Structure 1
Amino acid sequence: MPSPASTDFAPARRRMLTMLGAGAAAAGFGAFAAATPAGAATPAEDLATTASTSTSTSSYGTTGSVEDELAIHRLLDTYLFAVDTKDKTVFRTLFTDDATLTVMAHPDGSAGIVKSGIEAVVANLDGATAWGYSTHVTANALVRVTGRTATGDSHATAQLVYPATATAPETVVVRGIRYRDEYVKSAGVWKIRKRVFSPLWQYNGTAVQIAYPN
């Protein structure tokens, strides 16, 4: 058990340490203030500015919101889903009525076959019947939003399974793709107004049958 003397000293010691700590903190803050140039933001101000900027500015430095960018990325994913499922109903909802789709363009985006208007764009999906199954996967995408319009430049890989013929076995075509896009936001929904599709590289292989257990 501590002696009465040590018990009496404890409150005084705590007061002394508290005063010393407060003095050190004040001195440290004074030194920081002296070292900070006039007009410079404090760490707290920098943090507040960063938080404000992150919610109002696109992650790619443009004027669109993060929500707009996410909506466009979902649009890109939905496009690939509609192609893989050959779903014309979903495919139609992704384009504006005056959309253009250029297919088989050169790697630099030039030339190619242009489909103009929503009906021609949707009809192009008929080409997907050439293969039995497919899997399209987005590799990367750069989206720049400015108000109600945006541009996109994305890459994808496609695995296309072509059925066997009288002269060839079932074949898997693996292809690298680049999409150059223009988007527009109407009634709160982002749609593709222009898309240029460029195949970049490709290789073919013989398909291997899957052995299902039942």
Structure 2
Amino acid sequence: MTSIEARLDEIESRIAIEELLNKYCHGFDRPDRDLLRTLWAEDAVFDLGPLFGDPANGVEGIMAKAEELWAAVPVMYHWMADPVIAVDGDTATAETELNCLVISREDGPTQVVGVYSDRFARIDGVWKFQHRVFDPQLWAPLEGWAATAGSKAEQTRI
């Protein structure tokens, strides 16, 4: 049996990591550059797989990759689900499912499905992405899809 403090730290860490996963979605979807920048360790690696080009290294490289993505796919709606998180002191891992609706400049409305595999580090008491790898399992353009109403419907007409 572990101490109450250790168990509480693991619970708090899991909550913080789930919030980090959610902030990633908000950072890309809004887009919120300031928020996105805060989520990464200085030496982080961000690898979205062969569909999205070479991995990005370090915060500046990751932000440059984000700008490339926003230029090609200016509208994103991420839904991440089923995170399986393992905490080990100041490091952790997770696998999380992704379902994402995007509006691609090339393919138009597209459904993206895959799995993120993550390594995290707690740095100065804050959980950050250390290494994020995406396995894109489906890229499925949605012929005939069109938003007809809603506060961002106009934004989907690229």
TM tier relative to shorter chain: 0.7 to 0.9
Q: What is aligned with 1:118? A: 59
Q: What is aligned with 2:31? A: 86
**Structure 2 CA distance for partners of 1:172 and 1:90, relative to 1, 3 Å:** same
Q: What is aligned with 1:100? A: 45
Higher helix share: 1
How many residues end up aligned between the 2 structures?
A: 147
Matched, 1:207 2:145: yes
1:133-167 deviation per Cα after TM superposition (whole angstroms, max 9, x unaligned): 2210012111100001111111111100235x8xx
Q: What is aligned with 1:192? A: 129
- Structure having the higher Rg: 1
Partner letter of residue 192 of structure 1? Answer: F
Q: Is the 8 A contact 2:49 2:55 kept in 1?
A: no
Partner letter of residue 115 of structure 2? Answer: R
Question: 1:204, CA displacement in angstroms?
Answer: 1.5
State the identity as a percent: 24
Gaps of 5+ in 1: 1-48, 59-63, 107-111
Partner letter of residue 92 of structure 2? Answer: A
When the two structures are superposed, what TM-score results if normalisation uses the length of structure 2? 0.82
Partner letter of residue 121 of structure 1? Answer: I
When the two structures are superposed, what TM-score results if normalisation uses the length of structure 1? 0.61
* RMSD, aligned CA: 2.5
* Alpha-carbon distance between aligned partners in 1 of 2:133 and 2:93, rounded to the nearest angstrom: 12
Runs of 4 or more off by more than 4 Å in structure 1? Answer: 52-56
* Alpha-carbon distance between aligned partners in 2 of 1:99 and 1:133, rounded to the nearest angstrom: 25
Greater relative contact order, per chain length (Cα 8 Å cut-off, separation 6+): 2
Higher strand share: 2
Gaps of 5+ in 2: 151-158
